[in-house]
Amino acid sequence: MDSVKIFLNEADMPRSWYNIQADLPKPMPPVIHPGTRQPIGPDDLAPLFPMGLIAQEVSQERYIEIPEEILDIYKLWRPSPLVRAKRWEKALGTPAKIYYKWEGVSPAGSHKPNTAIAQAWYNKEEGIRRLATETGAGQWGSALALACNFFGMECKVFMVKVSYHQKPYRRLMMEAWGATCIPSPSDQTRAGRAILEQDPDTPGSLGIAISEAVEEAATRDDTKYSLGSVLNHVMLHQTIIGLESLKQFEMAGDYPDVVIGCAGGGSNFAGFAFPFLRDKILEGRETKVVAVEPQACPTLTKGLYRYDFGDTACTTPLIRMHTLGHDFIPPGIHAGGLRYHGMAPSVSHLLELGLLEAKAHPQTACFEAALSFARAEGHLVAPETSHAVLEVMDEALRCKERGEAKIIAFNASGHGHFDMGAYERYFAGDLVNYEYPEEKVQEALARLPAIE
Amino acid sequence: MDSVKIFLNEADMPRSWYNIQADLPKPMPPVIHPGTRQPIGPDDLAPLFPMGLIAQEVSQERYIEIPEEILDIYKLWRPSPLVRAKRWEKALGTPAKIYYKWEGVSPAGSHKPNTAIAQAWYNKEEGIRRLATETGAGQWGSALALACNFFGMECKVFMVKVSYHQKPYRRLMMEAWGATCIPSPSDQTRAGRAILEQDPDTPGSLGIAISEAVEEAATRDDTKYSLGSVLNHVMLHQTIIGLESLKQFEMAGDYPDVVIGCAGGGSNFAGFAFPFLRDKILEGRETKVVAVEPQACPTLTKGLYRYDFGDTACTTPLIRMHTLGHDFIPPGIHAGGLRYHGMAPSVSHLLELGLLEAKAHPQTACFEAALSFARAEGHLVAPETSHAVLEVMDEALRCKERGEAKIIAFNASGHGHFDMGAYERYFAGDLVNYEYPEEKVQEALARLPAIE
């Protein structure tokens, strides 16, 4: 097929999500209760999540059927196109073939609604009428606002302060879909007030905003909590991306040698990569799978694989993951969605098993790569996505050096329409690169709970 | 077919544009030279446009083949989806079927690249390396910036001052694709300086910005002019929208009873509607075709069908069109792309022939309709598009009253990601509706050149 874009018809959409837990060569370490230090059970999570999602969190079934009502909403923009980046290949002069999955077509402009719709639906099914959450760049918050809107539910979003001010349009988008959005840390929670007391000028962090949203859900009977990344059920819902891509690659008559995604909490990466990892595990495919993170928040490349809290106030269960320490506050880089101290435990586990690789890149080089992509392919991607774009460019240029015609695939997780202020700072030469020093990793280690 | 979205494969894309001039029951009045008052010839337009586009401007051929290189760039995002708005139908409780053509998927976020790519290509073919243009809301300017980028051409954009300040992200988008963008009126042209002298605080207008861009092209040998609407060749390039839609309706097994588009200069409306008008003229289809404009700039509904200049400084040829007078400066409503004193002569002519209808709507009701659409279908549309959305809603509610299961189709010409500031003002209750008083039409009439 000689098409640039490979469209999948709605009739051919995947009807199930893929659960990688069924296929892990070694099971994931248990999640630990912060009080008892024993593995947690479903009841421990019940104050925060509906049972439908808790069941998915621990499920060992390989495929989980997507409810019809969720599929119906997916169809507003899915299946998303898989696009062959022929013009970019030519601009780079590479013999490699580059494909990208374009998640920027969703109403919120990113992959985030794939799980937001599912989470809101499972809550609605159990009678929940209100959700609280946090958001970094605003992509997750707007996705959950959109989802709650579809089911007539209330939505409260704690937005990391630095992004709240950098991206006012994201907040307005949430409001257009009926949600309430406030900057975090806020004075509306104990966790927020405690942080503000210590440092009134903090830029905020995802860890802090999670503490606030969890507190709101735990202290209000009418409210549950919703997380946009990290957890198993979130990764599960996102696999619609990779499952569609596999069908589209079959239509194109290709299969990728290299699969790349950016990783903050891990959900767009996992959603794209896990179905390819299934083939790697079950069929022995030799696919190179790469998660790309910012040098300013190098969770996978410099963090430790240890038990840690998901939030700053130490209120969540303890999960084993790559972490920079729950009190790590990353610098205010523009890829707000990648500023998380931890990483999805499933992604962390797969890295430990050697099934994937991790890379870290500085933000200015990422913006430069994003412009190379935009000038060839048109689309301006989000700063988060630009990390994947740079890794693809590096891989394509290696192919050029070696004369290798590899097939490279990446997840273009979102557009940058709400991030033009970041591009402006890049053009002005105002962006600084941060590298996380080794000694800080040691300090973080000392602060982690002693669980092995 | 029970799909929500109808995807057309690249292989089935239209290979020609449709030229409605071939099928007009009565030819359009000639364009008149402002000096000689005689019909102009191709040579009169040569300082501004390449011969390839001048030939299209006067062509009587029904179909004009789309050059391969233009098709290749269209394929970065085209064919765009045709979507059945089932959730909105349900929310409105209408028996009507509503379809929308979603042009928001282009890298610039609107239909504008359809002609920008074509115009840049025809200029490039004749050795032109630099284009000057004007832009209202910024949708056209960013589209031409994108197009020039693909062909390595320079691009200079005069942006209507009120929009320049309302929409900084649009300017940054142009800069990301390598263009230069300045607020109009500027001190860089004689036309701009003359206006600034009279009224330093003018919000600007498309008419003024056109004068500036035309002057830049006319006074620089290396530069041609590019117009994002009004002219025949622009309407021609946009027909890719309607031609794709017709194929998609055939796949869906439907044909619209009502075809709706918003109209500023007329290009998204024409691009969507002209192929349906072809069927109306040649096959006797009884399609109702409606152009929707803002009450604050009611060119078709209150303007006069007279010879007038396309710009404020009276430098362009005289064209017969619906006009509010070339010195009309509309209030700073948020649908910047609909703030033009004139209308495409082809659209005006078709209105005179009774082949289409026109409606005018106030902006607050348009935003309300856009939110109704967004809450059902997800997508936040541009303020321009919201005018079409309101007319569709009215039509769907009339169907409800009468129990009619009509098929309504509209062109969703662009997304509103760069217009969230307008939504903010709507939420805050800050938006005012303007109605253009009848006596002003009489005053405008007195100022028009006396040509019949």
Task: Give the CATH number of the domain where residue A289 resides.
Answer: 3.40.50.1100
Nearest beta carbon to residue A378 from set B87, B107, B420: B107
pLDDT above 70 coverage of chain B, percent: 99
**Does residue B175 carry a pLDDT above 80?**
yes
The DSSP bridge pattern shows strands A97-102 and A82-84 to be antiparallel
Residue A145 is assigned to a structural domain of this protein: no
Nearest by CB to B377, from A76, A175, A424: name it.
Answer: A76
Whether A216 is covered by a domain: the verdict is no
Rounded to the nearest integer, the mean pLDDT of chain B is 95
Which of the residue ranges A128-137, A240-249, B160-169, B437-446 would you say has the lowest mean pLDDT? B437-446
A53 falls within a domain: no
Residue-range definition of the domain harbouring residue A379: 5-10+67-109+233-445
Answer whether B71 touches A (CB < 8 Å).
no
- Give the span between the Cα atoms of B210 and B206, in whole angstroms: 6
- Which residues of B are less than 8 Å from A150 in CB distance? 87
Asked if B4 lies within 8 A of A10 by C-beta distance, the reply is yes
Q: Is residue B420 part of a domain?
A: yes
Residue A221 belongs to a domain? no
* Cα B313 from Cα B311, distance rounded (Å): 6
Query: Is any Cβ of chain B less than 8 angstroms from the Cβ of A3?
Result: yes
- Tell me if B140 is assigned to some domain: no
Exposure b/e, B97-113, CB count within 10 A at least 16 = b: bbbbbbbbbbbbbbbbb
- What is the rounded CA–CA span in Å between residue B409 and residue B413? 12
Domain count, chain A: 1
A121 in contact with B, Cβ within 8 Å? no
Give A22's DSSP letter. G
Q: Give the nearest chain A residue to B170 (CA atoms).
A: A420
Q: Is A19 exposed, middle or buried (0-12, 13-18, 19+ CB in 10 A)?
A: buried
Q: Report the DSSP beta bridge partners of residue B134.
A: B158
SS3 B416: coil
**Contact status of B9 with chain A (Cβ, < 8 Å):** yes
Residue A103 φ then ψ, to 5°: -85, 0
Query: B182 — contact with chain A (CB < 8 Å)?
Result: no
Cβ of A194: how many Cβ atoms within 10 Å?
A: 14
Q: pTM of the full predicted structure?
A: 0.96
Alpha-carbon distance values, B282 to B150, B287, B326 (Å): 38, 12, 35
Dihedral, CA atoms, A209, A211, A216, A218, nearest 10 degrees?
A: 150
Rounded Cα distance between B98 and B100, Å, is 7
**One-letter amino acid identity for A70?**
I
Q: Does residue A177 belong to the interface with chain B, where contact is any CB pair within 8 Å?
A: yes
| Residue in B109, B377, B420 closest to A173 by CB | B420
Instruction: Please report the pLDDT score of residue A334 as a whole number.
Output: 82
From chain B, the residues in CB contact with A107 under 8 A are 374, 377-380
Q: Is A9 on the interface with B (CB under 8 A)?
A: yes
Which of the four pLDDT bands, split at 50, 70 and 90, describes residue B382?
A: very high
Residue B389 tokens read as: 């959305």
Confidence at residue A452, expressed as pLDDT on a 0 to 100 scale: 66
Please answer yes or no on whether B420 and A169 come within 8 Å at the CB atom.
yes
Listed by number, the residues of chain A in 136-155 with a beta carbon closer than 8 Å to a beta carbon of chain B are 146, 149-150
Q: Is the dihedral of CA A86, A91, A96, A102 positive or negative?
A: negative
Average pLDDT value for residue range B246-275? 97
- Look at residue B161 in the predicted model and tell me its pLDDT: 93
- Which region, left, alpha or beta, applies to residue B378 given φ > 0 means left and ψ of -120 to 50 means alpha? left
pLDDT at A160: 92
In this prediction, residues B184-190 reach a mean pLDDT of 97
Rounded mean pLDDT, B179-189:
97
A165 domain-assigned: no
As a whole number, mean pLDDT of residues B152-172 equals 92
Question: Which range, A29-38, B237-246, B314-323, is most confident?
Answer: B237-246
pLDDT at B1 over 50: no
pLDDT of residue B284: 96
Determine the Cα–Cα distance for residues A103 and A273; give it in Å rounded to an integer: 14
Closest approach of chain B CAs to the CA of A8, in angstroms? 8
Cβ pair B87:A76 closer than 8 A: yes
Residue B315: how many other CB atoms lie within 10 Å: 18
**So what's the pLDDT on residue B3?**
76
Work out the number of other CB atoms within 10 angstroms of the CB of residue A188.
15
Whether B378 is covered by a domain: the verdict is: yes
Closest-CA distance, A10 to chain B, in angstroms, reads: 6
Instruction: Please indicate if any CB of chain A lies within 8 Å of the CB of B319.
Output: no
Structure tokens at A359: 């890379």
Q: Is B168 on the interface with A (CB under 8 A)?
A: yes
Judged by DSSP in three states, B260 sits in strand
pLDDT in tens, B103-126: 999 999 999 999 999 999 999 999
| B10 contacts in chain A (CB < 8 Å) | 3-5
Q: Is A36 exposed, middle or buried (0-12, 13-18, 19+ CB in 10 A)?
A: exposed
Q: Number of A:B CB contacts under 8 A?
A: 112
CB A256 within 8 A of CB A99: yes
SS3 of residue A157 by DSSP: strand
Residue B301 confidence (pLDDT)? 96
d(CA A111, CA A133): 17
Residues of chain A with pLDDT below 70 are 1-2, 452
Q: Please, are residues A211 and A312 in contact by the beta-carbon 8 Å criterion?
A: yes
**Chain A neighbors of B169, CB-CB under 8 A:** 169, 417, 420-421
- Res A312: pLDDT: 84
Chain A hits for B106, Cβ within 8 Å: 378
User: Which tens digits make up the pLDDT trace of B195-228?
Assistant: 999 999 998 988 899 999 999 999 999 999 999 9
Alpha helices of B151-205 — where are they, by DSSP H?
Answer: 161-166, 168-176, 190-198
Q: Least CA distance to B78: which residue of chain A?
A: A5
Q: What is the 3-state secondary structure (H, E, C) of A35-50?
A: CCCCECCHHHHCCCCC
User: Nearest-CA distance from A146 to chain B in Å?
Assistant: 7
